[in-house]
Amino acid sequence: MDFMFTQEQEAIARVARRVLGDHCSPRDVRAAFEGELPGAGARWDAIAAAGIAGLCIPEVYGGQGLGPVEMVLVLEEAGRVCLPDPLLETAWLVPALLLEAGTDEQQRRWLPRIATGEVVASLRAPGSELVVAMDRCGLVLWTDDHGWSLAEVPSLPSVSRRSLDRGLGLGRITDRELDREPISGEVGDPTLIARIATGSAALLNGLSDWLMAVTTRHVRTREQFGRPIGSFQAVKHMLAEVATDLHAARVATWFAAEALSRVASEAHEAADIARWTAASAALLASDAALQLHGGIGFTWEHDLHLWMKRVSALVHLYGGHEQSLSRIESRVCDDLVDAAQKQEAR
Amino acid sequence: LDLRERPDQRRFRADLRAWLGEHVPRSPLPPLSTVDGVRAHVAWERRLTAAGYTGVHWPLEYGGQGKDAVTSAIFEEEYARAGAPERANVVGLRLVGPALMAYGTDPQRHRHLPAILGCDELWSQGFSEPEAGSDLAAVRTRASRDGDHLVVTGEKIWTTLGVHADWILALVRTGSGERRHDGLTLLLVDMRTEGVERRPIVQVNADAGFAQITFNEVRVPEDQVVGSVGQGWTVAMHVLTVERGAGTVSHAWLEQDLRATIALARERGRLEEPLVRRELALLRVQVQRYRFSNLRALCLTDHGIDPGPEASINKLLWSETRKRIYRLGAELRGEDGLLDAQGPEDSEWQRQYWYSRAATIYGGSSQIQKNIIAERLLGLPR
């Protein structure tokens, strides 16, 4: 049993941190938030060139052939810089769906283009109505009564500029707008849901880590009553509680990714636990950050709100953390009890 | 990142499970706070020793099993699941043993380590004092030199097993020192020495688990100093890191408590209540996240990396979770919990309920842990 990352995994996280840090500054996040797309193309090219877009795509299709553990390390870095691009969807969710259920032809057509960065992909997940990156995705997958379908998207008009996190390019699609092409294979919804939960958790952990870092720096330097406010226990304990929750959330996310990578029986529950703990930690981090920055953090001008709004979006997107907790609840209160009753009956 | 158990770990687990299944006493032993209880628990400890299940994490050269931290945690996990008795010599095995391995002399190791493993010496920890709780460096018990002896006078309090222990690891003040941490020394004190008095303290759960220990000019040979005179703070901090550190408390204890609480909710027909269900789900999350976090710290330990402030995070995670599980249990019992215990199982639950509320105080209170996290992990000013 080894809960440590390999040198290769650590190197992948380092590269992701450097590339994302170089190409996604707070200024870029703000530009995306204001609805400016020009920088997005160059940024995505750099991400693809570093092998990040094709991280989970097999080498025969031009990807790196890596798995969930590497993916969550990279997604945490994407969360840290508040990356506006749909990395979770393009690099993990869509390729995994195509690999599981797509035809050879569909895989050959789309996977290489995703790996090179030519195509950004998105999806409408079960239990969700929204699609991210509506303004820039070239491929979208969705599920309805007819099962899973995919469509090439030349351009989609229906992006809502009035969403909470305008950088994400959130919108709704209606089936009428698209030329449906069915995906015939069997899609394991629980596994997709587990990937969404684990990936969202990793993104949230990155966001929380940035919020913690910025807030810790602020309370170390901001003085009131003649001393740094970070020397007051009320402030210390607030941040210590966030640090505790965040540590637990990161460890839970790594655990879930490892379980997913070897299709372990507890992967689905671990993913839900990761998502719930990461969402709780992020909400707490967001609250502490705003509270401890005081007035300046409440301004449009400060970057804090960009990260806080991303937290809100990721907490509620794709069915939200509430659905994760509901599943945990029925496992604990129904499944385990059923098992106990069966055992008693025997 | 590979969370599969190694073949040797799987084998260790299977063998242990079989052994425990055969040997764990069917009915609970009398409590450790009684003379009968101590006798029964010591006998149980010796069966563990004979079977090779004591000192799992101790190095082979000191008579231990030489297992890594993860395997040692597998032991704790199986032990908890089997419902085996409370461990009697935790202070000896977790504090005194490791302190002597790191800082003791050869004669001290020869004398005490086998006696701890064989449970021939029951140990207690003499750190807290009436005026030194969270502020441990404020200890006032003094030891002054007289020839080749140190003469100890002062008071220790909240000493677990203090009434029955044979030995005590005492933190005493030997010098004034520029900084108050410098003048401290750790001593191995035989409780039968003249001038040692013990008075039981009855806890809120009606157990006399603690004691107040008075040292009245107790003469301790100087070869009973651990490390050197004035090195007490360093050794004590080492010991406390071990106490808080990885694997001290198995998630399996929390799992057992939670399972019992789910069963209680079912028995009382309250498993359909939305608030009860929600709280059980949240507790499941709390228990699992502690499991993951503890596992991470164990693996760091096995790689020779000190988990540092992560130990404080883990202490907060398990102690707060334990309290919350028992709080739900009390809610489920409702009015019935107000009557005197109905039978031994109920009485054990009552005892544990109150004891769960000590968890956020002992071993460094939650407030102290948060200070450690804020100052050492986040670098906030003192």
Q: What is the pLDDT of residue A168?
A: 87
Given an 8 Å threshold on Cβ–Cβ distance, is B262 in contact with A220?
A: no
Question: How high is the ipTM of this complex?
Answer: 0.94
| pLDDT beneath 50: ranges in chain A | none
Confidence bin at B307 (pLDDT 50/70/90): confident
| pTM for this model (two decimals) | 0.94
Chain-centroid distance of CA A216 in Å reads 24
Q: What is the pLDDT of residue B80?
A: 93
Count H helices and E strands in chain B, helices first. 12, 8
Sign of dihedral through CA atoms B266, B271, B276, B277? positive
| Predicted confidence (pLDDT) per residue in B155-194, tens digit | 999 999 999 999 999 999 998 766 778 899 999 999 999 9
Task: State the DSSP H helix or E strand holding residue A316, giving kind and residue range, or none if neither.
Answer: helix A304-316
Q: Compute the CA torsion angle A124, A125, A128, A134 (nearest 10 deg).
A: -20
Average pLDDT, chain B: 92
Q: What is the pLDDT of residue A291?
A: 98
Establish, for the pair of chains A and B, how many residue pairs have beta carbons separated by less than 8 Å: 149
DSSP for A237-277 reads HHHHHHHHHHHHHHHHHHHHHHHHHTT-TTHHHHHHHHHHH
B344-371 average pLDDT score: 90
By the 10 Å C-beta count (0-12 exposed, 13-18 middle, 19+ buried), A94 is classed as: buried
Coil/strand/helix, residue A230:
helix
- Tell me the nearest-neighbour CA distance from A315 into chain B, angstroms: 17
Residue B308 vs residue B320, higher pLDDT: B320
Lowest mean pLDDT among A50-64, A210-224, B24-38, B228-242: B228-242
Q: Could you say which of B1, B262, B289 has the minimum Cβ distance to residue A258?
A: B1
Are the C-beta atoms of A130 and A317 separated by less than 8 Å?
yes
pLDDT at B46 over 70: yes
Given an 8 Å threshold on Cβ–Cβ distance, is A236 in contact with B70?
A: no
Interface test with B, best of A2, A3, A4, A335 (most B CBs within 10 A): A3
On chain B, the residues whose CB falls within 8 A of the CB of A239 are 374, 378, 380
Q: What is the pLDDT of residue B127?
A: 93
Q: Could you say which of B288, B299, B382 has the minimum Cβ distance to residue A3?
A: B299
Sign of dihedral through CA atoms A13, A19, A22, A28? negative
Angle, alpha carbons A328-A331-A336 (nearest 5°): 140
Q: Could you say which of B9, B265, B282 has the minimum Cβ distance to residue A1?
A: B9
| Distance separating alpha carbons of residues A85 and A203, to the nearest angstrom | 12
Choose among B290, B282, B273, B262: nearest CA to A328: B282
On chain B, the residues whose CB falls within 8 A of the CB of A326 are 281
On chain A, the residues whose CB falls within 8 A of the CB of B6 are 1
By residue count, chain B amounts to: 382
The phi and psi torsions of A235 (rounded to 5 degrees) equal -75, -45
On chain A, the residues whose CB falls within 8 A of the CB of B380 are 216, 219-220, 228, 230-231, 235-236, 239
In 10 A of CB B342, how many CB atoms?
Answer: 10
Q: What is the pLDDT of residue B240?
A: 78
Q: What is the pLDDT of residue B177?
A: 61
| Predicted confidence (pLDDT) per residue in B72-128, tens digit | 999 999 999 999 999 999 999 999 999 999 999 999 999 999 999 999 999 999 999
Dihedral-angle region of residue A274 (phi above 0 means left; psi in -120 to 50 means alpha; beta otherwise): alpha
Given an 8 Å threshold on Cβ–Cβ distance, is A3 in contact with B293?
A: no
User: Which residues of B are tagged catalytic?
Assistant: 243
pLDDT at B298 over 60: yes
Are the C-beta atoms of B114 and B61 separated by less than 8 Å?
no
Interface test with A, best of B71, B289, B303, B319 (most A CBs within 10 A): B289
Q: How far is CA A324 from CA A130, B239, B287, B328, in A?
A: 18, 40, 16, 22
On chain A, the residues whose CB falls within 8 A of the CB of B295 are 1, 3, 251, 255
Q: What is the pLDDT of residue B248?
A: 75
Residue B237 vs residue A346, higher pLDDT: B237
Given an 8 Å threshold on Cβ–Cβ distance, is A340 in contact with B284?
A: no
Given an 8 Å threshold on Cβ–Cβ distance, is A239 in contact with B310?
A: no
- Residue located via tokens 């909240």: B158
By residue count, chain A amounts to: 346
Instruction: Give start and end residues of each alpha helix (H) in B5-129.
Output: 7-23, 35-50, 69-81, 90, 97-103, 106-117
pLDDT at B286 over 90: yes
Q: Could you say which of A6, A228, A276 has the minimum Cβ distance to residue B381?
A: A228
Q: What is the pLDDT of residue B178?
A: 61
By the 10 Å C-beta count (0-12 exposed, 13-18 middle, 19+ buried), A121 is classed as: buried
B315-339 average pLDDT score: 93
| Predicted confidence (pLDDT) per residue in B56-88, tens digit | 989 999 999 999 999 999 999 999 999 999 999
pLDDT at B35 over 70: yes
In 10 A of CB A294, how many CB atoms?
Answer: 12
Task: State the DSSP H helix or E strand holding residue A147, giving kind and residue range, or none if neither.
Answer: strand A147-152
Q: What is the pLDDT of residue A157?
A: 53
